[in-house]
């Protein structure tokens, strides 16, 4: 498996192939439905958002509470199609990578191509395993959303498969 370092750059994205298995290492964000809705609503109304999207990768997960000694609780992927209503707008504002599970809408696939982004899938049902790949975790926005808050994670050798580019 090829190692890919985050943040992603378009020159690396151009070299990826659908179906390719990769190991991701570096910083990324987490966000689920509620955070996506807030981000999109703010962008649509011209309000400032609490994160910079340019060059970011978002992992669709809502981590479980961590136990003593853990960096993060179980953090398996959320069904990506739940973010589809918001994804084209976030891509337009600089989002470059997404990690989740399942298919995306035709509109999202077209937006991924238009903005030269990438969608990775990862292992559903393996949240405990995936949490071992997280080396640091910090809530950086929308703390009131609990597990759906936006986290900044640093991952090492996080397994993913290129699904769409």
Q: Write a three-state SS string for 4-73.
A: EECCCCHHHHCCCCCCCEEEEEEEEEECCHHHHHHHHHHHHCCCCCCCCCCCCEEECCCCCCCCCCCCCC
What predicted TM-score, i.e. pTM, was given to this entire model?
0.96
pLDDT number for residue 25 = 99
Q: What is the pLDDT of residue 80?
A: 98
Look at residue 162 in the predicted model and tell me its pLDDT. 99
Q: For position 14, what pLDDT does the model report?
A: 97
| Percentage, residues of the chain above pLDDT 70 | 100
36 belongs to the catalytic site: yes
Helices (H) and strands (E) in the chain, counts: 5, 7
Identify the band that residue 118 occupies on the pLDDT scale cut at 50, 70 and 90: very high
Alpha carbons 153 and 26: distance in angstroms, whole number: 8
- The domain ranges of the chain are 2-164
Residues 6+ apart with CB under 8 A from 113: 165
Q: Which single residue is written with the structure tokens 């699904």?
A: 163
Q: Which of 24, 28, 35, 36 is catalytic?
A: 36
Tokens (6 digits) for 13 = 């994205």
CA distances from 79 to 6, 42, 57, 126, 131 (A): 22, 23, 16, 14, 17
- Between CA 131 and CA 156 the distance in angstroms is 10
Residues 5-15: pLDDT tens digits? 999 999 999 99
At residue 127, the pLDDT reads: 94
How do residues 123-133 score in pLDDT, each as one tens digit? 998 999 999 99
**CATH number belonging to domain 2-164:** 3.20.130.10
pLDDT tens digits, 46-92? 999 999 999 999 999 999 989 999 999 999 999 999 999 999 999 99
Q: What is the pLDDT of residues 13-52, one digit of tens each?
A: 999 999 999 999 999 999 999 999 999 999 999 999 999 9
Task: Of 67, 65, 77, give the one whose Cα is nearest residue 28.
Answer: 77
């Amino acid at each position: 498996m090829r190692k890919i370092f985050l943040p992603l750059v378009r020159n690396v994205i151009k070299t990826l192939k659908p179906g390719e298995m990769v190991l991701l290492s570096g910083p990324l964000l987490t966000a689920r439905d509620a955070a996506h809705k807030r981000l999109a609503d703010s962008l649509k109304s011209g309000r400032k958002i609490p994160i910079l999207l340019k060059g970011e990768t978002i992992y669709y997960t809502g981590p479980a509470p961590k136990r003593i000694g853990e960096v993060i609780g179980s953090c398996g992927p959320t069904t990506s199609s739940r973010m589809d209503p918001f994804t084209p707008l976030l891509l337009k504002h600089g989002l470059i990578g997404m990690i989740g599970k399942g298919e995306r809408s035709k509109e999202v696939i077209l937006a991924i191509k238009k903005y030269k982004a990438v969608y990775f899938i990862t292992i559903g049902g393996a949240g405990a395993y995936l949490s071992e790949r997280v080396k640091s975790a910090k809530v950086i926005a929308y703390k009131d959303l609990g597990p759906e808050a936006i986290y900044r994670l640093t991952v090492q050798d996080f397994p993913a498969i290129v699904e769409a580019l």
